[in-house]
Each structure stands twice: as structure tokens, then as C-alpha cells.
């Protein structure tokens, strides 16, 4: 399952879990994008932060793992490269690529879309506010896509970022460890916004690499804002 995961939220996790169950998948590999070129106009958090949040969010599920293939590749992230790299790492695996209805609607604009369906079977999951239609693939490859109805969770990373920026809670939209990571790294808050302790950040979080996590994040009581 590819995504920008800025931050990863329960909509992503439920989608992965539902598809894993439906297709009896052995493993779901979350692949945070390196350079999500179609989101360039927005400010995207450093790849290492998005990677670490995804590791934290998936750690409790033995069937979930996180791959660095996209964040370690230089240049715009294209799914055709993601799938080729994963295929090289797992030559005997049957690959499925999980997308939400919104991403699926734009799939014809993806780089080398004509090659994608040789590399993986595509699974589109329902998402509140978006139509899920096989027509989005045009007549590229009949049978290359399955559509799966999942429990509707109207959660988006945009909403989580907006809430965090405004000092509103993201508890229960994202896993607890991700709430703590957002707080620890001071993600999404405007640089001049006062923190809960009254201090003001003097510089943005490092643009490319998060500092090593040498100590666990201090516990934050539910109800406190990140």
C-alpha cells in the first residue's frame, strides 16, 4: 500500500487490514512515497518523519511492514518503480497494490500506467466522498482491478494536519504513537505558534532527516492537544 502518509491514519490501516483479509495476503507492505510529485505544491513533511510514523503505526500488526524503497530512491516517486523494486526483492510474490478511490480516479495520469498492470493486481477501496468505479481504468486491462467495500472512515491526512496546526486533537484519528511522534517532532504547527508549554519553535523540523529517536516520547494524556 503506497501513500504519502503525512501522517498515516486509521483510514490507511483499516484499508490495509480489510484487503489483507479479503485476499488472504501474507503481508501488507506500506510504502511511504519519497517525492510525491503530484503533491509538490503542498508542503510535505520530511520522508524520514513519514517513514517513522508509518513504522510506529504498523508495529503492532505482525502482517504489516514498511518499505524504504520509495524514500531511498532519488527523484519523483512513480509506482511503476515501486512495483519493480518490490518484485526484485520478492521475486516469487504475487503483488497487489492497494489504493483508495480518490487515488484510483487519477490512475490514468500515473507514469507508465500501461506497464502497471503487468506488475501487480490493483485493489481499489471505498473512501467516503469518492466514487469507486472500474471505469477509471478505461479499457486498459479488464480484470486487473478489484473493488473492495471497506468500513467508511472519513479521515484524511489533510484533516489531521489542519487539526494539529490549529492545536486541535488528532487522538483516535491516528494511532497513539503517531500522536506522540507529531508532538515530539512538532510537525504541522506553524513556526510561530506557541507550544503547549508556552515556548515558540525557533526553526522548522529538519527538512530531510529526523533526529535519531534516542528516548521514548513522554506520555501525553488523552485529551491533551499535540
Ligand X SMILES: Nc1ncnc2c1ncn2[C@@H]1O[C@H](COP(=O)(O)OP(=O)(O)OP(=O)(O)O)[C@@H](O)[C@H]1O
Ligand Y SMILES: O=C(O)c1ccc[n+]([C@@H]2O[C@H](COP(=O)([O-])O)[C@@H](O)[C@H]2O)c1
* Contacting residues toward ligand X, per CB under 6 A: 3-6, 11-12, 15, 99-100, 102-103, 125, 127, 153, 155-158
How many Å apart are CA 20 and CA 15, to the nearest integer? 9
Would you tell me the crossing angle of helices 10-22 and 47-58 to the nearest 10 degrees? 60
Rounded to whole angstroms, how far apart are CA atoms 197 and 128?
37
Q: Closest separation between CB of residue 12 and ligand X, Å?
A: 5
| Interface pick for ligand Y out of 3, 175, 205, 226 (rule CB under 6 A) | 3
> Which one among 111, 121, 141, 184 touches ligand Y, defined by CB under 6 A?
111
Selection from ligand Y, ligand X, none that 110 binds (CB < 5 to 8 A by kind) is ligand Y
Residue 210 CB, nearest approach to ligand Y (Å): 19
Of positions 54, 58, 77, 180, contacts ligand Y by CB under 6 A: 77
Q: Does 4 bind ligand Y (CB under 6 A)?
A: yes
CA dist 57 and 196 (Å) reads: 24
Q: Please, which of residues 14-73 interact with ligand Y by CB under 6 A? A: 31, 33, 36, 38-39
- Tell which residue, 140, 144, 224, 214, has the closest CA to residue 180: 224
Nearest distance, CB of residue 116 and ligand Y, angstroms? 8
CB closest to ligand X, residue no = 100
Q: Which lies closer to ligand Y via its Cβ, residue 36 or residue 124?
A: 36
Partner whose binding site includes residue 38, from ligand Y, ligand X, none (CB under 5 to 8 Å by kind): ligand Y
Q: How far apart are CA 150 and CA 194, in angstroms?
A: 39
Q: What's the closest the beta carbon of residue 33 comes to ligand Y, in angstroms? A: 4
Burial label for 50, CB within 10 Å (0-12, 13-18, 19+), is: buried
Q: Label residue 167 left, alpha or beta by phi (over 0 means left) and psi (-120 to 50 means alpha).
A: left
Contact partner at residue 158 from ligand X, ligand Y, none, CB < 5 to 8 Å by partner kind:
ligand X
At 103, list the grid cell: 487515488
Helices vs strands, H then E, count in the chain: 8, 6
Which positions touch ligand Y (CB under 6 A)? Answer: 2-4, 31, 33, 36, 38-39, 77-80, 103, 110-111
Amino acid at each position: 500500500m503506497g501513500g504519502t502518509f503525512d501522517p498515516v491514519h486509521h483510514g490507511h490501516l483499516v484499508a490495509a487490514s480489510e484487503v489483507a483479509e479479503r485476499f488472504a495476503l501474507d503481508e501488507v507492505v506500506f510504502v511511504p512515497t519519497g517525492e510525491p510529485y503530484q503533491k509538490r505544491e503542498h508542503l510535505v513533511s520530511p520522508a524520514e518523519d513519514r517513514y517513522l510514523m508509518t513504522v510506529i503505526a504498523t508495529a503492532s500488526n505482525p502482517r504489516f511492514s514498511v518499505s524504504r524503497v520509495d524514500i531511498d530512491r532519488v527523484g519523483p516517486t512513480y509506482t511503476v518503480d515501486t512495483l519493480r523494486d518490490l518484485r526484485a526483492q520478492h521475486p516469487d510474490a504475487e503483488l497487489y497494490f492497494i489504493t483508495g478511490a480518490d487515488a484510483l480516479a487519477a490512475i490514468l495520469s500515473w507514469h507508465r500506467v500501461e506497464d502497471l498492470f503487468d506488475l501487480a493486481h490493483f485493489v481499489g477501496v471505498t473512501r467516503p466522498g469518492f466514487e469507486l468505479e472500474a471505469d477509471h481504468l478505461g479499457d486498459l486491462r479488464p480484470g486487473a482491478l478489484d473493488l473492495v467495500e471497506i468500513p467508511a472512515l472519513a479521515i484524511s491526512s489533510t484533516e489531521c494536519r489542519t487539526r494539529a496546526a490549529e492545536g486541535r486533537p488528532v487522538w483516535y484519528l491516528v494511532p497513539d504513537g503517531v500522536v506522540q511522534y507529531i508532538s515530539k517532532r512538532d510537525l504541522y504547527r506553524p513556526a510561530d505558534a506557541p507550544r503547549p508549554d508556552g515556548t515558540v519553535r525557533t526553526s522548522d523540523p529538519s527538512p530531510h532527516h529526523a533526529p535519531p529517536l534516542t528516548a521514548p516520547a513522554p506520555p501525553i494524556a488523552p485529551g491533551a492537544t499535540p
